[in-house]
């Protein structure tokens, strides 16, 4: 734990124990929801967070299990359709502003894929916004698995983990309206790509979204993509495209994670670029966007964990501590942004 550092946190003053903190420096500020929000610098070096602002790793874990219960979410499959319907209904529990963007895209195999990007908006009237992304489809073939290269991947980590964290953020956002606008976007068709071919054969949903954002005049100050954020002992390094397009956001997120004591997940090391959904959000939609992705070439020969694109990408490799590290870091990012960011 990084207890030697000052913790800067945001808390709701209605929570009783905030007032019990030892000598906090408070700067009350009124926001549009008539909720008084305090920026607390606790000189006792303690992290305090209201109960409703605590990320629940149990809840996120349950949302991974729920997605896996449909089976592999391969575009054009029944499981894919059913899981998409579930995700839309789940998000509608937390905000009335859920946009479903259907599209038909062409896979490198020549197959025509029916996909849906799903966008949930919080405080949609706010012009100062940030946006989070994850992909909800799973890979149609376990081509890194020598024993089962043609079987579909269950995608507990590669897909479901990022989605589950965003679903948990949706629950928190509904309970605690932030000062800023927040959008959660679930991309489809990310993982149908050609492993030996062009990177553009991946990320079909995000490419479509970035070229056809379903909100006129859409603006977000920055974006954060989650991909493979649930595995045990995950290592999130500073990825190359993120460092090129949004280095200050990388710095903000990694510093926040270290301040919260999650430095063993958020490694202060730069790695080569990875073409993932954020590449297309950066280059096509021009939203500076980073990727939090489990990838460390110094640990794994392929960079990604050994479960990547194999049948081992199942619930057994998921660790609630990893979900908590990522989720709690993002909660702090959201609630430390003020209306005039």
Interface with Zn ion (CB under 5 A): 158, 191
Q: Which is nearer to Zn ion, 158 or 277 (CB)?
A: 158
Question: What are 270's strand-pairing partners?
Answer: 238
Q: Which is nearer to Zn ion, 9 or 153 (CB)?
A: 153
Q: Which is nearer to Zn ion, 191 or 296 (CB)?
A: 191
Q: Which is nearer to Zn ion, 42 or 191 (CB)?
A: 191
CB 161, min distance to Zn ion, A? 11
Q: Which is nearer to Zn ion, 168 or 276 (CB)?
A: 276
The 8-class DSSP code of residue 152 comes to P
Q: Which is nearer to Zn ion, 317 or 333 (CB)?
A: 317
Q: How far is CA 164 from CA 67, 167, 193, in A?
A: 8, 5, 23
CB 157, min distance to Zn ion, A? 9
CB 334, min distance to Zn ion, A? 26
How far is the C-alpha of 151 from the C-alpha of 6, rounded, in Å?
49
How far is the C-alpha of 92 from the C-alpha of 139, rounded, in Å?
26
Nearest Cα residue to 126 out of 186, 65, 177, 72: 177
CB 84, min distance to Zn ion, A? 18
Helices (H), 184-319: 204-211, 240-245, 247-259, 277-283
End-to-end CA separation in angstroms for the chain: 29
The Cα diameter of the chain in Å comes to 64
Q: How far is CA 281 from CA 176, 196, 203, 226, 245, in A?
A: 27, 23, 10, 13, 10
- Residue 322 CB partners (closer than 8 Å, separation 6+): 161, 229, 230, 231, 232, 233, 234, 265
CB 193, min distance to Zn ion, A? 8
CB 128, min distance to Zn ion, A? 32
């Amino acid at each position: 734990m990084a207890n030697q550092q000052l913790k800067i946190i945001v808390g709701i003053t209605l929570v009783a124990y905030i007032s019990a903190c030892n000598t906090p420096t408070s700067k009350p500020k009124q926001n549009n929801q008539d909720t008084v929000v305090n920026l607390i610098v606790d000189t006792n070096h303690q992290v305090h967070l209201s109960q409703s602002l605590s990320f629940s790793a149990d809840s996120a874990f349950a949302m991974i299990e729920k997605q896996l219960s449909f089976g592999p979410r391969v575009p054009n499959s029944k499981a894919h359709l059913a899981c998409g319907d579930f995700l839309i209904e789940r998000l509608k529990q937390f905000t009335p502003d859920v946009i479903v963007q259907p599209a038909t895209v062409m896979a490198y195999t020549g197959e025509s894929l029916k996909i849906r990007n799903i966008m949930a908006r919080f405080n949609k009237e706010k012009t100062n916004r940030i946006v989070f992304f994850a992909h909800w489809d799973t890979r149609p073939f376990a081509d890194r698995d020598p024993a089962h290269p043609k079987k579909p991947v269950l995608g507990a980590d590669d897909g479901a983990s990022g989605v589950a964290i965003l679903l948990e953020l949706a629950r928190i956002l509904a309970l605690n309206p932030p000062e800023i606008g927040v959008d959660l976007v679930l991309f489809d068709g990310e993982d149908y790509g050609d492993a030996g071919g062009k990177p553009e054969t991946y990320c079909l949903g995000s490419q479509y979204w970035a070229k056809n954002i379903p909100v006129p005049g859409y603006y977000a100050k920055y974006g954060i993509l989650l991909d493979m954020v649930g595995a045990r002992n995950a290592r999130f390094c500073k990825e190359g495209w993120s460092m090129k397009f949004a280095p200050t956001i990388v710095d903000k997120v990694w510093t926040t994670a270290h301040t919260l004591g999650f430095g063993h997940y958020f490694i202060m090391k730069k790695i080569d670029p990875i073409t993932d959904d954020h590449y297309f959000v950066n280059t096509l939609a021009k939203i500076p966007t980073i990727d939090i992705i489990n990838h460390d070439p110094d640990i794994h020969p392929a960079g990604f964990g050994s479960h990547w694109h194999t049948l081992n990408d199942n619930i057994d490799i998921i660790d609630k501590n990893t979900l908590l590290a990522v989720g709690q870091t993002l909660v702090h990012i959201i609630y430390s942004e003020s209306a005039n960011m």
